[in-house]
Amino acid sequence: MRTHNIAGQVMGSLEAFEGSRAALDTTQILIVRGMSRKKIQADKLGNIITQLLKDVGAVEIDMFSDEAGDIIGVIDEQIRSSVEISGETDVYGIYRMKESFESMNCHADYKMGILNNEIAIFLVLWKDMSGMGPLFVEMVISLMEA
């Protein structure tokens, strides 16, 4: 499956493949979590994500654009079709995510890309502000067909 290939490439590049696991795996969406063995400085997280998106052939999308909002809506629908979630859809919650990580004393960065107008990739990297411990990775790979 193409989503698994993309996840494998990104997690392999981050040396986070071993021990990674799928949090959700359907025909439409794959959510994978893992821990990277790479030592990456916090101020480089955004650059690393940008390069990873380029490496898989994705075009980076402005997280505050209408296009990103539409993609987040599609991803939310795909998750809700597989997992019961109470409450309304909050597309702005993703924008508050970085603040949430920072309030937990973590550096975090995230970006979204689109591959061939068919596959959306949302990648988040975070690590403790102390510099100790691993770099955590979470990625969502979503087929854009409904």
Q: Which residues contact 49 (CB under 8 A, 6 or more apart)?
A: 109, 110, 111, 123, 125
**Strand pairing partners for 128?**
106
Q: Is the CB of residue 107 less than 8 Å from the CB of residue 40?
A: no
Which sequence spans correspond to the domains of the chain? Answer: 2-143
Residue 103 belongs to what H/E stretch?
helix 93-103
Strand bridging mode 59-61 / 119-128: unpaired
At 88 the pLDDT is: 67
Q: Which residues contact 18 (CB under 8 A, 6 or more apart)?
A: none
Closest Cα partner for 135 from 107, 112, 98, 111?
Answer: 107
The per-residue pLDDT string of the chain (146 residues; one tens digit each, 9 = 90 and over) reads 688 999 999 999 999 988 889 999 999 999 999 999 898 988 899 999 999 999 999 999 998 899 998 888 888 888 878 777 766 666 667 777 778 888 888 899 999 999 998 999 999 999 998 888 889 999 999 998 75
At 101 the pLDDT is: 85
Q: Is the CB of residue 117 less than 8 Å from the CB of residue 74?
A: no
At 146 the pLDDT is: 52
At 100 the pLDDT is: 87
At 86 the pLDDT is: 66
Please state, as a whole number, how many other Cβ atoms lie within 10 Å of the Cβ of residue 6.
21
